[in-house]
Amino acid sequence: MNIESKLLNRLKESQLKYSVDSLKQPVQRDAFEYGHRTGVVAGYEAAINVLLQLIDEDKYRDNDL
């Protein structure tokens, strides 16, 4: 397994764990708490997207016409 796959898998695992843990914890939910947790999950998603873009750029960088 290459480093890109390992990074992608680790990010997805961390995102899932954070999401599940956030749903399990009995915390008083207000707008700030909801926004914070949503922002963290969105941050994971943004990191995953950046990694995928970098992989694509690296894979296809020599195919420019």
Residue appearing with tokens 């995928």: 52
Residue boundaries of the structural domains of the chain: 3-60
Q: How far is CA 38 from CA 2, 11, 24, 59, in A?
A: 30, 16, 15, 32
4's CB contacts (< 8 A; 6+ apart) are: 51, 55
What pLDDT, in 10s, does the model give residues 41-51? 999 999 999 99
More confident residue, 52 or 34: 52
Report the distance separating Cα 48 and Cα 58, nearest Å.
15
Query: Which pTM value belongs to this model?
Result: 0.79
Q: What percent of the chain has pLDDT over 90?
A: 51
Q: What mean pLDDT comes out for the span 10-17?
A: 96
- Predicted confidence (pLDDT) at residue 65 exceeds the cutoff of 60: no
